């Protein structure tokens, strides 16, 4: 089965750039989405189809995907961005696959 | 406003059956797949499968095939997730989400299921 690997945690200082990676075999051949989940809340789609920001998502969120790695980048990170982030792709049998999640700490 | 509203929290005993719901509004319910996602306490998101309310076409994740049943009643814009015999390991938060092109763009508020003797 297809697997996506994320670092368990990433720390960033306020105002700095946070990068969260997601690795999978030939991931660049697939579309990747990213979700933000704040404590006690439902996930929110922040990046769709590798690079697209849904309506209402701040411009500081961006995405890229190439080779075996997709990256979510948060520029000028704010305290409100502290959350768990999950990457997601589709495998060859039309099942969604989620990464294990990355806890972003802003300190 | 596009939204998915899920049924309330459930507390059940092992071996009992359960059906939880997800009601869509503000969009054409029959034109989008609805996915179900499990999140066990303190853990990550797990894909369970999806259903297309327009014709009830259903695709299960291999991990959940045979463990749950997904259904939909398009006349009342509602999707369902059900268990015939709950186990303690089914204790989790369950989310429904609308699938748009590639991502899940609208999520329900989640339904907490607790299975304990």
Question: Under DSSP, is residue B11 helix (H, G, I), strand (E, B) or coil?
Answer: strand
User: How would residue A22 be classed by pLDDT, with cut points 50, 70 and 90?
Assistant: very high
Q: What is the pLDDT of residue A94?
A: 84
Span A56-68, mean pLDDT?
A: 98
DSSP B102: T
**How many contacts does A have with B, using Cβ atoms within 8 A?**
62
User: How would residue A19 be classed by pLDDT, with cut points 50, 70 and 90?
Assistant: very high
pLDDT in tens, B68-99: 999 999 999 999 999 999 999 999 999 999 99
Instruction: Say if the Cβ atoms of A45 and B47 lie within 8 Å.
Output: no
Q: What is the pLDDT of residue B53?
A: 97
Q: Using alpha carbons only, what angle is made at residue B24 by residues A84 and A85, rounded to the nearest 5 degrees?
A: 10
Q: What is the pLDDT of residue A93?
A: 85
In this complex, is the C-beta atom of A88 within 8 Å of any C-beta atom belonging to chain B?
yes
d(CA A104, CA B18): 35
pLDDT in tens, B39-67: 999 999 999 999 999 999 999 999 999 99
Instruction: Say if the Cβ atoms of A86 and B47 lie within 8 Å.
Output: no
Instruction: Say if the Cβ atoms of B102 and A90 lie within 8 Å.
Output: yes
DSSP A48: B
pLDDT in tens, B25-42: 999 999 999 999 999 999
User: Comparing C-alpha atoms, which of A101, A95, A102, A100 is closest to residue A2?
Assistant: A95
Token pair in block for residue B66: 């045979």
């Amino acid at each position: 089965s297809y697997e996506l690997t994320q670092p368990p945690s990433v720390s960033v200082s306020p105002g700095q750039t946070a990068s969260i990676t997601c690795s999978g075999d030939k991931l660049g051949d697939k579309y990747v989405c990213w979700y933000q989940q704040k404590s006690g809340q439902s996930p929110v789609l922040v990046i769709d189809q590798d690079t697209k920001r849904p309506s209402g998502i701040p411009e500081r969120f961006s995405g890229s995907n190439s080779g075996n790695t997709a990256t979510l980048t948060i520029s000028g990170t704010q305290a409100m961005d502290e959350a768990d982030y999950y990457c997601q792709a589709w495998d060859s049998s039309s099942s969604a696959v989620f990464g294990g999640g990355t806890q972003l700490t802003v300190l | 406003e596009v939204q998915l509203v899920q049924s309330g929290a459930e507390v059940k005993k092992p071996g009992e059956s359960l059906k939880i719901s997800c009601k869509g509004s503000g969009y054409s319910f029959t034109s989008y797949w609805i996915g179900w996602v499990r999140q066990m306490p303190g853990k990550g998101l797990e894909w369970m499968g999806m259903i297309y309310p327009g014709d009830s076409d259903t695709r299960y994740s291999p991990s959940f095939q045979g463990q749950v049943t997904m259904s939909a009643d398009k006349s009342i814009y509602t999707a369902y997730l059900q268990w015939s015999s709950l186990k303690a390991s089914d204790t989790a938060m369950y989310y429904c989400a609308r699938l748009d092109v590639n991502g899940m763009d609208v999520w329900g508020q989640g339904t907490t299921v607790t299975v304990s003797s």
